[in-house]
Structure 1
Amino acid sequence: MQLIMPGKRKFRDAWINEDFQSWLKPVEGNPERASCRICHKELNAELTCIKRHNTSKTHLQNERAIDLGQLELEGNQIDSSTPIGVSTATILLACFIAENNLPFTTADKLVDLMKRMFPDSAIAQGLFMKRTKCTDVIRTMGKTVTNSLIKKLRTNKFSVIMDESTDVSTTKSCAVIVRFYDSHEQKITTAMLDLINVYDSNNAQGSTGENLYALLINTLTILYIPLLYLGAELHSLFQTESLKNRDMVQDVKYRCRQFCISVCVAVRKRFDLDNPLWEMVSFLSVSKALDYRSRIAMPSLQDLIKLVPRINAEDSQKLDDEWRSLDFVSVPDEIRHEKNIEEFYKGLGNLKDDEGHVMFSALSNFALHILSLPTSNADAERVFSKLNFIKTKLRNSLQLPSIIALIAVSEEVQRYGGCVQ
């Protein structure tokens, strides 16, 4: 009996149209061999060998190195002068997915589509990102954004807004929102600091006032954010009791009347409407700050400074002198006619005298910090709206770290006008 040995397999062009099109190519003159454009390595033209190489540790490391611009893909010479490289394209694509609340699985087909759309682009051909890598990239960017925010909170006065909600997977989360004046960006910033699982494995107390307060303090402590600006008033806010339920009545008019009374009583309880702070702060408006007739009623800021001692960390006399000197300084028309109060005080803070000295730095800083005080929980509600867009019925298995990263990256991208900018 004659034993017939099977012949060696030859390279098939169909393999290039499968999952290996980004790196696999035939070896000229030898149909029994295949070549990897990433690892610059030849292998047997067998599907088993090709699949094994596609999942090998060396190949995956080289693939990641190409994404980071540390290696060059054979046959695609990337010009070093190109303003957007592979790594930048990867980041922009991840930002686009986060900004538009798209699933991570979008990256699986979108990258391959871009390769087909732009076959002459070295950057598009060098782009490799599936759902796993997209998740890692967004989480890394999310941590970077959050760390940048934490550094600013360590050196800036800030206010805290907290609210809780339940998402589509019945997970109760508490959003920690911070609002502060960013002196570096010269604007009032509102950002999400953290999204906490109220009922995690280490916490079974639920959404009581004491527990939410403990979660906040624990978050700030872990992030090494000083608690200097948290006082008795904020503690009391977390201990506020819910409004008591009223008996159902048959008369609709009576119920409407009782509802209005309940609202008025609740507002009266929650807000000290007789607090002189509200009237004094109104004098910081553009119309009153530059009107000498309005300033007669408040010639000095000393009474307002006493009500917010933590905001005024500078020399109170200097602040008061700058307030008084507004009557004697010719404010430029572009600042005087500015209707946006934030832009008004930013312009006032940059105003210099004939010798080049800034004239209203203390007043500008004080007013912008006053404006950064939160007046409602609308910012927390916006976070929950984003959460509902991100964690849908089809994406109910998303983990909290991914959600936090998606929201953080989305906020940062939108803060600069979108990923296109």
Structure 2
Amino acid sequence: MLCDEEQEPEIRQVCVNFVKRLIMQLRERLPDNFNILKKVNMFAVDNILRPHKNIFDFINIFEYFKITDIGKLKSQLDKIHLIKWEKTEESMQFWAEVLAYRDAENNNPFKALALFAIQLFSLPWSNAEVERVFSQMNILKSKLPNKMALKSLNVILSIRYGLRRHNECCHTYSLPQKYLAQIKNKDKYLNDGENDDIESLLTCLI
């Protein structure tokens, strides 16, 4: 149905008013921490590798999330651009490389910063994804396997969502050979305190 020329300005104004009210309502529904969430981009690979960074913005984020050892993260921020990184095209792949990095003494001098950045990028922007996680959790930890340990539940969920991020499934994903070789090693089952292998495997799925 076409409107005549006399009605067109009025209809246009009604549409403009509707969009204005919609924007105002959306702003009112934004969470209180929206300004902090907007600063997540500071941890993007292009920004984090700049020699000169606005350290005060980073400190504000650390303080907001109640980080106790801010000096440690600040020190890692100051040095991270000095390393020649390979995966600098995509931020999550970059931080996965940082998390797996080892220096000459087999230490990771950027582990705290990498873990914080990955957790920051993992923040959901809506509750839809969180509800999906709860649905998956209820499927895994039902009335039958109700004694499943929290650690096991966390690992299973991490693997599931890691595979989904890579558009893979358990039928198509090829497990690295070094993990297949450990299946027959009873020491890996007896040593409950060893978490390095689990963290390394989960890093592959980030």
Is structure 2 residue 36 aligned with structure 1 residue 277? Answer: yes
Gaps of 5+ in 1: 1-250, 384-400
Instruction: Report the CA distance between 1:278 and its aligned residue.
Output: 4.3
TM-score (norm 1): 0.29
Aligned to 1:324: 78
Instruction: Report the CA distance between 1:290 and its aligned residue.
Output: 0.4
TM-score (norm 2): 0.55
Instruction: Report the CA distance between 1:366 and its aligned residue.
Output: 0.6
Local SS of the residue matching 1:283: helix
Pairing 1:103-118 to 2, within 5 Å after superposition: none
Instruction: Report the CA distance between 1:345 and its aligned residue.
Output: 0.8
CA distance 1:369–1:420, change in 2 (3 Å)? closer
Pairing 1:244-283 to 2, within 5 Å after superposition: 251-271=10-30, 276-278=35-37, 280-283=39-42
Aligned to 1:417: 168
Q: 1:341 aligns with which of 69, 91, 109?
A: 91
Instruction: Report the CA distance between 1:291 and its aligned residue.
Output: 1.5
Mapped contact 2:124–2:130 kept (Cα < 8 A) = no
Q: 1:361 aligns with which of 95, 98, 111?
A: 111
**2:63 partner amino acid:** K
Aligned to 2:149: none
Aligned to 2:55: 298
2:130 and 2:37 map into 1 onto residues whose CA distance is 23
Instruction: Report the CA distance between 1:317 and its aligned residue.
Output: 1.9
**1:417 partner amino acid:** E
Pairing 1:147-186 to 2, within 5 Å after superposition: none
1:417 and 1:265 map into 2 onto residues whose CA distance is 40
**2:18 partner amino acid:** F
Mapped contact 1:300–1:323 kept (Cα < 8 A) = no
Instruction: Report the CA distance between 1:298 and its aligned residue.
Output: 2.9
Instruction: Report the CA distance between 1:419 and its aligned residue.
Output: 5.1
Aligned to 1:235: none
CA radius of gyration, larger in? 1
CA distance 1:417–1:264, change in 2 (3 Å)? same
Aligned length: 141
Q: Deviations over 1:269-303 (max 9, x none)?
A: 1237996524543211110100224x1x3367322
1:272 and 1:378 map into 2 onto residues whose CA distance is 15
1:255 and 1:287 map into 2 onto residues whose CA distance is 43
Aligned to 1:375: 125
2:16 and 2:171 map into 1 onto residues whose CA distance is 52
Mapped contact 2:40–2:121 kept (Cα < 8 A) = no
**2:58 partner amino acid:** L
CA distance 1:418–1:357, change in 2 (3 Å)? closer
Instruction: Report the CA distance between 1:259 and its aligned residue.
Output: 1.6
Q: Deviations over 1:38-89 (max 9, x none)?
A: xxxxxxxxxxxxxxxxxxxxxxxxxxxxxxxxxxxxxxxxxxxxxxxxxxxx
Local SS of the residue matching 1:355: coil
Mapped contact 1:300–1:324 kept (Cα < 8 A) = no
1:274 and 1:376 map into 2 onto residues whose CA distance is 13
| Percent of residue pairs bearing the same amino acid type | 21
Choose between structure 1 and 2: higher helix proportion.
2
Gaps of 5+ in 2: 1-9, 143-155, 173-206
Choose between structure 1 and 2: higher strand proportion.
1
